Every structure is written in structure tokens, then in C-alpha cells.
Amino acid sequence: MEKVGSAPNSIASAGNIAPSKMNGPLWVNAEITYKCPLHCVFCYNPIDYTQYGPELTTEDWLRALRQARELGAVQLGISGGEPLMRDDVEIMVAESSKLGYYVNLITSGIGLTEKRIAAFKEGGLGQIQLSFQDSTRELNDFLSSTKTFELKSKVAKLIKQYEYPMVLNVVLHRMNIDHIEQILAMAEAMGAEHVELANTQYYAWAMVNRDQLLPSREQLARAEEITNQFRARVGNRTKVYFVVPDYYADRPKRCMNGWGTTFLNITADGLALPCHEARMLPGLTFPNVRDHDMRWIWQDSPGFNAYRGEGWMQEPCRSCPEKEKDLGGCRCQAFMLTGDAANTDPVCDLSPLHHLVTEVVDKAQNPGNPAKVQPVVFRDDRNSRKLSGKGEAIPADVTPVA
Ligand code: SF4
Ligand code: SF4
């Protein structure tokens, strides 16, 4: 599933947790499976997802979620892969709601039948976030390498029928960002209350396809302008979140609100991580919820303590007056771009390695015809196996951009 990028909009209202307990994770994301019928070119699941398993059992999940709730977690995202590939989501929703979580299902919509949505309603599911890849059938289906546009449109109606707030997520990039007007029109026609226009962040499959996905500055500026016009017209009826790609910023984001401060991700095979992508970082061992109690994982495990606070920082972060604001940016981005997770996130223009970002951005201003530059790589089992542990090798049999 797409990376859960925006702050949960319901944390504040999700529970009445005593302040003394608020030092645990507030927000848990359960990536309950890596299976997915879609094959998105920007997927956040690890490239080598085929190498991990087996999935946690229902009992494993319920135990881990209970322990996280005892630590103070109030918001639960259920994502994947496509979470609806598992048939125990109804149990997880009902049990988590009983525990006091505000539960959010993050789905491509595939597998959301009327029977299942009725069960979710009964079980106390708070919100469904539905993703589309584009406003046109052609591009939606191309980007996911499936024929799913009609199915998603039906699911959107079902979500309204069951009186859920419509939370529409569209990941933006070079190939669909010029459709922003139509995407917003589609959101309006669906009666969306929230629209997340999350520009692709470059991890996992999106990193493999970065040259094809990074939009130009001009595309971004136009998209933001159209989004602002839309906001001015619809007012509070539809809240639109427009997330600019890190590469176009000159300061990094405070990734996950700071390593080990707020967010805890549990992967399909049970690894507890301080962010979605952290399992890629070399030299760190992350605990498995099968083997460890959540309190130890959160408070004491070496993985969760590795980049907490500021003690790990090198220059220029160490002596920077802004370090509390952004805590040096994203450790995974620092590792992917510079080879050292303890470096300053090179998105920052104070980083001596900032050129690693600006060179990519410069290239995106005039990339030529992507179809001639390089084919896109779809997220699927065969490509995952080919790319696992083999660095940058690009499969020869991928479908070129149409
Ligand atoms: S392939 Fe697409 S729908 Fe499936 S998990 Fe990845 S981003 Fe989500
Ligand atoms: S040098 Fe480090 S702390 Fe300072 S603004 Fe850049 S990333 Fe943030």
C-alpha cells in the first residue's frame, strides 16, 4: 500500500489516554500482508518483499496491538499490500475498536464487498482511505498494471452508502500530475471529504522508477496552483492535502515526527519498525513482535534507540540550530542517497551532499521521453525476486511506458 504519509487526522479525538501514558507510540500501522493484486510503480513495500514471511497469525496481531494500546497507541492504520487479501481483517477491526483504537483501513478497494463493509461498520471501523492511481481508466489501469478503475469507482459508492467519510488518496508523479484538475473533479463528484494528493516520495519501488516519476518544477507549480483554486472554491467541504516531494524542499521533513517518538510500523512478517522503510538500513536489527513484548521493543530495543533524539548526529546537523525542528530529516533517505544513515538528509541545502538531490531535480526538468529513457518497473513477485539483493539491475521484460 502507499506509504502512510500524512499525520493521522483523528489522533486528537481518538481516545482519552492519561498523559502519563502518552510517551508510547500514538500511531501504529499494521502492514498485515505484502500480497496485493495491484502492481503500482510507486509501491512503498520493500523491493524484496517476496523474501519475507510467513505472515503473522491473527493471534500474533491481536497480541501486538493489545500491547501497543497498553503503551498508549490510539490510532491504528491497517494497510498492506492490500489488507483485504486477508480474511481476518473483520476480526482485527472489531477487536482493535474494542480496545479503544480509532481504526483506519487503507485500501486499493479491491476485495471490499458489501458484506465486508457491513461487517467493518458493525465492528467499529472509523475510516476507509481509498486509493486511485489516476482520474482516467487508462492511466489508473496502466500504473497499477490491472483493470481496476471500474471496481474502485463502485467501492467509492459503497463507502458513501455506508456513510463513511470519503478519504481519497492519489499518489502524484510526473505521469499523472497534469491530470490534477480531473483528479479533483473526480474527488468532488465522489463527495470526498478528504483528498490526499501525496507526491511520490522516493523509496522502494518509487526509487527504482524515480527518473520516470519525479515531476518537473513547472508541473508541480501548476498542480499547486490548481489545488489552491479548488480549495478556494470548495472551502471546508473538501479538505485537500498536497504533499510536495522532498526533493523540491530545501529542508527535510521531520520524518515520522522523529524516529521512535510517535509512529510504530509492524510488517507482515512481524518486524517492528520506527518507519515503513527502516528494514533497509544496514547494521540495525529490528525486533519481531512474535518474540518480544511491545514495551521492550518501543523503549529498549537497539533498533528503536539507534536514531532517537540527537546523540547520533554528525555535522552539520550536530551544531545546527534547526536540529530540534527536523531532527536531521529521514535516515532512510540519507542512507539511500549517501550510503550512511547517520548523514544529514541530503534534501537539506546545508548538507555537503545536497548536490545528490539537485542533480536529480535538474534532470527532471528536461527528462525527454520517458518511454525512450527507461521502462518502468512494476511491483510484482517476479520483479521482486529479480531485484532482491541484486542492487540496481532492471529486469529486461518490464512493460515500457505507453
Ligand atoms: S501495489 Fe499499489 S495498491 Fe498494492 S500495496 Fe503497492 S501501492 Fe498499494
Ligand atoms: S543541517 Fe541537519 S538539522 Fe540543520 S536544517 Fe539541515 S537537516 Fe536540519
Q: What are 266-325's pLDDT values in tens digits? A: 999 999 999 999 999 999 999 999 999 999 999 999 999 999 999 999 999 999 999 999
Per-residue pLDDT, 119? 98
Span from the CA of 380 to the centroid of ligand 1 (angstroms) = 10
Nearest ligand for residue 83 CA:
1
- For residue 133, the CA-to-ligand 1 centroid distance in Å is 10
Sequence-separated (6 or more) residues with CB below 8 Å from residue 399: 145, 375, 376, 378
- Nearest-atom number in ligand 1 for the CA of 81 is 5
Whether pTM > 0.75 for this model: the answer is: yes
**Residue 133 has which C-alpha cell?**
492511481
- Residue 200 one-letter amino acid: T
- Give me the amino acid identity at 198: A
The answer to whether residue 396 scores a pLDDT higher than 70 is no
Most confident of the following: 12-16, 49-53, 286-290: 286-290
At residue 24, the pLDDT reads 85
Ligand nearest the Cα of residue 343 is: 2
Ligand nearest to C-alpha 317: 2
- Ligand 2 pocket by Cβ (under 6 Å): 251-252, 316-317, 320, 322-323, 326, 328-329, 344-345, 348, 350
**For residue range 223-240, what is the model confidence (pLDDT) as tens digits?**
999 999 999 999 999 999
Q: Whose CA is nearest to atom 8 of ligand 2?
A: 328
Whole-number Cα distances in Å, 209 to 88, 122, 248, 250, 367: 33, 40, 17, 22, 13
What is the torsional sign of CA 283, 289, 291, 296?
Answer: positive
What whole-number distance in Å separates Cα of residue 106 and Cα of residue 98? 19
Lowest mean pLDDT, pick from 55-69, 135-149, 320-334: 135-149
| Angle between helical axes of 58-71 and 89-99 (0-180°, round to 10) | 20
* Ligand at shortest distance from the CA of 132: 1
As a whole-number percent, the residues of the chain with pLDDT over 70 amount to 89
CA of 152 to the centre of ligand 1 (A): 13
- CA triplet 99, 101, 104: central angle to 5 degrees? 135
* 130/89 Cα distance (integer angstroms): 16
CA of 351 to the centre of ligand 2 (A): 7
For residue 317, give the ligand 2 atom closest to its CA. Answer: 2
Residue nearest to atom 6 of ligand 2 (CA): 348
**Residue 144 pLDDT class (50, 70, 90 cuts):** confident
